[in-house]
Amino acid sequence: MEVALNTDCCTRSFVVNEVAHVDAVRRATIRQAEAQGFDEDALGRLTIVIQEMARNLVNHAGEGEILLNGDGGTLDVLAVDRGPGMVNVAQCMADSYSSKGTMGAGLGAIKRLSDSFDIYSQPGQGTLVLARFQLEKSPPSALISGALCLPHPKEELCGDAWAIRDNRVMLCDGLGHGPQANEASQRARRLFLEHDPKIGLVELMERTHHALQSTRGGALAFAEVDVEQGQVTFCGVGNIAGALYAEQSRGMVSSNGTVGYKVGRVQTFSYPWDEHTLLIMSSDGITTKSSLNPYPGIRARHPALIAGAIMRDFRRLNDDATVVVLRHA
């Protein structure tokens, strides 16, 4: 049932299509939360939440996935399905409502017990439910994010890697998939997390290029959001897709090449940014046909839900796949 191991930024994925899977997902989730240092109170709340989310997948959708993202002091639990969806989400959130003759307290309980909660559902398209748990209250930030990073279905290690540091985002797709791709992308990630934030994106790209020359290399992109100046700067080499969704949607320009092997002129490109702008970066494990058009209103939802919808509906199953979503808080 478990598809991916939790290595660095990799997402853990669990298929849930029968009641027996509920306890297995709960045990795995609690182990991860314990490893991240969550206390007994949080573990107790998380136990109820994961059981409700997994049971909902079986009872209401027939099957679906639980996706776990553990990053430092944050643990995201995302339930994703392609079931019948909800006509009236607000009605389904009410404790007294049930479409299956149960007590009807599931979604309401999930919301109350989580540190952050969001839901998106459309009739005929399925449902996405997010429950976020945090070790401590985060300081206010101008930006919020969500990401999913899944390996090739036949691999345990993911050849993609992503990270966010302050107002900068990176996404690296190691060439191919498997351990060697993982080595390249994780090296790029470590360098990104350790770099001096005063250096520009072009210099950071060049440093990473040199650092990856002993690996098989890969595609790499950085984005930097300057909220005060109202712009986002993008620097990419290879086929990392960057897109901005605002009043007018637009793609972001990457240069040709392979970081660690051969790159041409490294450039940055700047684009307008405001409180309504949504930034989406993805590796080529997400099809080029990905779009938010099928999801009315989803741009206002939590970035983790947006990432879940894209991963659910536009993932290729012959490669690693990563999507990172960033927007104004």
pLDDT tens readout for residues 116-157: 999 999 999 999 999 999 988 777 788 999 999 999 999 999
Domain-located, residue 7: no
- Boundary (domain end) residue, out of 134, 157, 173: 134
Report residue 163's pLDDT band, with 50, 70 and 90 as the boundaries: very high
Task: Say whether both 93 and 183 belong to one domain.
Answer: no
Q: Which helix (H) or strand (E) holds 201?
A: helix 201-211
Does residue 203 surpass a pLDDT of 90? yes
- The alpha carbon dihedral of 279, 283, 288, 292 has a sign of negative
Domain that holds residue 182: 143-328
Q: What is the CATH number of the domain that holds 179?
A: 3.60.40.10
Q: Which structure tokens are listed for 234?
A: 């993008």
What is the DSSP code string of 217-277? -EEEEEEEEETTTTEEEEEEESS-EEEEESSS-EEE--BSEEBTTEE-----EEEE--TT-
Task: Say whether both 174 and 284 belong to one domain.
Answer: yes
Q: What is the CATH number of the domain that holds 98?
A: 3.30.565.10
Task: Say whether both 129 and 170 belong to one domain.
Answer: no
Task: Say whether both 90 and 216 belong to one domain.
Answer: no
Domain-located, residue 84: yes
Domain-located, residue 1: no
Domain-located, residue 283: yes
Domain-located, residue 6: no
Task: Say whether both 108 and 158 belong to one domain.
Answer: no
Position 142 scores a pLDDT of: 87
- Boundary (domain end) residue, out of 82, 117, 134: 134
- Boundary (domain end) residue, out of 91, 115, 134: 134
Report residue 190's pLDDT band, with 50, 70 and 90 as the boundaries: very high
Position 91 scores a pLDDT of: 82
pLDDT tens digits for range 36-60? 999 999 999 999 999 999 999 999 9
Task: Say whether both 65 and 205 belong to one domain.
Answer: no
> Residue 173 carries which side chain, given as an amino acid letter?
D
Average pLDDT value over all residues in the chain: 92
Task: Say whether both 115 and 167 belong to one domain.
Answer: no
Q: Give me the number of domains the chain comprises.
A: 2
Task: Say whether both 95 and 219 belong to one domain.
Answer: no
Task: Say whether both 127 and 160 belong to one domain.
Answer: no
Task: Say whether both 174 and 116 belong to one domain.
Answer: no
Report residue 101's pLDDT band, with 50, 70 and 90 as the boundaries: very low
Report residue 4's pLDDT band, with 50, 70 and 90 as the boundaries: very low
Does residue 229 surpass a pLDDT of 70? yes
Task: Say whether both 95 and 158 belong to one domain.
Answer: no
Contact 107, 129 (CB under 8 A): yes
Domain-located, residue 37: yes
CA 40 from centroid of its chain's CA atoms? 26
Q: Which structure tokens are listed for 29?
A: 């989730």
Domain-located, residue 106: yes
Does residue 17 surpass a pLDDT of 60? yes
Task: Say whether both 37 and 155 belong to one domain.
Answer: no
Domain-located, residue 2: no
